[in-house]
Structures are given as structure tokens and as C-alpha cells.
Amino acid sequence: MSDSTTTVKRKTERRARVILILLGLLLPTLSLVPFGSIWLWQQGYLIYWAAAACLIILTTYVFQRRLFPAEAPSRGQEPSQDTVDTAELGKQLGWSPLEEQAMADVEAQARNIDLDALDSWDALLDLGQKTIETVANRLHPGRSNPVWQFTPPEALAIIERVSRRLRMVAVEKVPFGDKITVSQALNLYRWHGAVDYVEKAWDLWRILRLANPITAATHEVRERLSNELIQWGRDEVTRRLAEAYIREIGRAAIDLYGGRLRVTSKTLGSYVSSDSAADAEAIKGTRAEPLRILVAGQISAGKSSLVNALAAEAKAAVDALPATAAFTPYRLEREGFPAAVIIDSPGLSATVDETGTIIERAADCDLVLWVVGAHRADRHVDQQALTTFRQYFASRLNRRRPPIVLVLTHIDRLRPFDEWSPPYDLATGTKPKENNIRAATEAIAADLGFSPDDAVPVSLLAGKTFNVEKVWENIASALPEAMRAQLLRCLHDLKEDWNWSSVWSQTTSAGRAIAGSLRKRK
């Protein structure tokens, strides 16, 4: 007898043993079903039992419908409630507005799944491909082949990332996922055909029990209600899995087509922009990309005084800052605060339009302190500049607009003019000075498109500064958004930057590999 014949015989014997063991375990239990039914029939309780079973299932069905009305979608119509807040998710992951829009497209696709169409592996793969195309079209609009807008290293990186996530799913979420081998899984799958035989046997049993029409009718009602519950549960689980599948592919596609995988964490961690490198030459000591804070506003609004007040506590480069004629960087240091460079800017005026220069500089910064004199009524220059600033970033969806902290200076010059005796209670105080400061804050914030909570009134009198600590608090509140803006700024710079030393290294490595191959052929 050949080895192959012996192997087949052993497998057949093993399967026969398994079947016999299963029959030995299941037949005694299954025998309780007909024998129990016979006993109920003999005692006259069968109809009562069937009616009670139908009533219990019907009550359960109605109860779950009332308890979870929004979570019982009909097939292919209503979405589940596991929706994703794309704006909040975008903030957590540091996405740009364009990437948030891409995730919103993915979320819309997840909410409108047609479960009836998911009838094969090919349909599932088509759904994933459609998700990828949705993201690619959003992030690369106008391209003739948006799906192919990635480099080979990015493709390998996304495969590695998805494989890592799938491994964790298999280990943590799938029963025996880390125990069952592929061979065993295939053997289990071969048994799926037995389900057809079980269904045929069940249909035969339904025909035979028609001998007692009343019992058969009650059983049919009970089974239909049971099947409805099971069908709903199966549809709900299928929908949730399909939605999770789409969202996971969508997030991976955003990383791929958004260019995030083009830059390694090591490169990003050591990156210093050309602007920061130039500023570092002026202040010395910047080693990694710092948070960049721009101070902007009209001439004589108090920008340099604000920088001096902030830098005084943070070891400014100079004792007092003169009126600024050019963009001047200073190192900003404060305990618990990330490395930062604060940049004083030339003032805006009504006669010379320098808004473009300010916005160009703001595009290289992560946070803006906009300074307005609380005693001045000429705010149209600030209004125009801020409107242009917001429009600039609204049209660049691959970037995040730096958050703006509105600082109102010269509050000591508000009415009554001859009174200045801080501290003042700017929240609930009833003194004339306090009332006027609150009124000016609300009016200026409304004129410039801010909430009153986003505006900080301060006095920067030499040696008598007031409420500067509140500026620090608002800066700290804006830090998360500023860090997201910084991340996208660095990613944008690195994606667009050509590292010629890296290109040269790649070329020489390829040359050595080709030369080595030619030598081996000889």
C-alpha cells in the first residue's frame, strides 16, 4: 500500500471518529426534543407550551424594537449609530481640512451600505476599492489617475501598518485566532456544505409535523419571530463590520494619499524649517523645529510691548524691544511650554498694504497673536487683514489655519482716563473702568469676528503690566490646535522639499548594486 493511500485512509478514519464522537454527544441531547414534545402532547400541555414560547419571543421582539428603535436598520436603508465625528477625529489625528472632507466622504459611504450587495468576496473587495477611490479623488482632485498618487515606499508602509492592525484583530478579537492554523481553518471551511443538508432535514421535519396542524402553526409562528430576531442581529453585525471595514480602509487611504507616509517620524522629529534655521541664527540655540508665534497688528498697537512683556518672564534676548521695522524673532522660554520662537512684525497701516507680507509670514507660523489698541476706533485695517488671512487658509485645505489669540492693549487709556488702579475684576466688576473694558472687549471682538472669550484685554505699562498671565492662558488653550498646524506645516514642507543629498545617496547605492551585478555575470 502506497504512502498516499495510507494518508488518505488515516484522514478518513480520523473524520469517521470525529463524526461518531459528535453523534454520541449530540444524539442523547437531540432525543430530548421529540421525546419532550411527545410527553407534552401526552399530558395535553403541548399547545400551551407552544403558545407560551410564541408569547415570550413576541414580547422579546417588541421589547428590543422599543428599546433600540434607532439601531434596527432595514437592509440597505438606515445607517447604524456608530457614526464618526470627522472634525473631532481630524483634530485628534492632526488632519487637514481636506483630509477631514475625505473622511466625511468615507463616513457617508459607510452610512449607506447596501447589505444585499455584499454577497461575495469580490463584492467586499470592490467596496474597499471604491473607498480608496473616494479618498484619492478627494485628496487629488483634477488628476487623471488619482489612485496612483503614491510612491512605492508609501505603499510598503501602508501594507506594514494595515498588516500590524489586522494581526492585533486576529490575536485579540477572533476566538482562537492565534491558535488555529490556516490548514485547520481550511478544513473547517470544507464543512460549510453540511449546512445545506441540515436545512433540508429541517424542511423535512416541518412537513412531517403537519400531522398536527395546530402544533405546526404555533411552531411556525415561533420560528418566524425567532428568525426575524436572528436576521436582525445578523444584519446589524454585518453592517457594523462592513462600516468598520470601510472606515479602516478610509483612514489608511488618507494616510497614503495625504503624504503622511512619505515622511518618517525620525525625519519629522529632526526637521527644522529654513525659516526657523534662519531665525535660529539670530537667537542661537534652536535645535529642533519650534512652535512659531507671530505677533501682528497695526502700527503703535503695542506689539513690541507685548513681546517684551511675554519675553520678560521668558528671558528675552534683549531688555527692551524697540519699534519693529522688520520681522524680528526672539526665543520664548517658559516652564511647561514647548520650545517656541515669537516673531515681532512691522505694523500694518491704512496707507501701505502689507497684508500680503504678513500672511506670507503667518503661513510659516503656527500661532498668531493679533494685537489691537482698545482705545482706537480705526479697526477697518484689522478687519480687512483678518478677512484676507482667513480667506487665504480657507482656500488651502491641505493646511490648518494657525489659531489666533486677540490681545487688546492700552486698556488703561479707556474711560475714565484719569483712573488706573489695578487689579480689576474684568468678569463681574461694576466699576466704570471695568464696565468700559468689558464693553470695549465685546465690541472689538464682534467687529473682528472673535468671541469675547478669545479676546484678552491687557495693559503693558512699563513695570505695571496687567492681565498678561491671561494671554499665557489663552496661548496654552490654543496650543493643541497650534501643534496640529505645526505638524501639517512641517509635513507640507517635507513633502515639497527635494533632499538632493538623499537623491545622491540613492543614486550611488543603485550604481553600486548594478556594478556588483555586472561583475557577477562576468
Amino acid identity for residue 13 in this structure: E
Q: Which of 278, 264, 254, 151 is nearest to 491 (CA)?
A: 264
Same domain, 287 and 256: no
Domain count, the chain: 2
Q: Are 285 and 356 in contact (CB under 8 A)?
A: no
CA-CA distance, 131 to 137, in Å (whole number)? 10
- The residue count of the chain comes to 522
Q: In the prediction, which pLDDT does 267 show? A: 57
Same domain, 219 and 306: no
For residue 247, the Cα-to-chain-centroid distance in whole angstroms is 10
Residue 355 lies in a domain: yes
Q: In the prediction, which pLDDT does 152 show? A: 84
Instruction: List the CATH number of the domain containing 343.
Output: 3.40.50.300
Half-sphere exposure of 232 (CA within 13 A, CB side): 19
Same domain, 484 and 335: yes
Q: Which of 334, 329, 346 is nearest to 286 (CA)?
A: 329
Q: In the prediction, which pLDDT does 316 show? A: 39
Q: In the prediction, which pLDDT does 311 show? A: 80
Same domain, 202 and 163: yes
Same domain, 359 and 490: yes
Q: Are 293 and 331 in contact (CB under 8 A)?
A: no
Q: In the prediction, which pLDDT does 340 show? A: 92
For residue 71, the Cα-to-chain-centroid distance in whole angstroms is 24
Residue 228 contacts by C-beta under 8 Å, 6 or more apart in sequence?
A: 61
Same domain, 119 and 194: yes
Residue 2 lies in a domain: no
Positions of the chain with pLDDT under 70: 1-9, 11, 16-18, 20-33, 46, 54, 57-58, 60-84, 166, 169-170, 173-177, 185-186, 188-237, 263-288, 312-325, 495-522
Same domain, 289 and 236: no
Residue 253 lies in a domain: yes
Q: What is the pLDDT of residues 311-320, one digit of tens each?
A: 864 443 333 4
Same domain, 54 and 127: yes
Q: What is the pLDDT of residues 34-63, one digit of tens each?
A: 777 777 777 777 677 777 776 776 676 666
Q: In the prediction, which pLDDT does 256 show? A: 87
Q: Which structural domain range is residue 65 located in?
A: 45-262
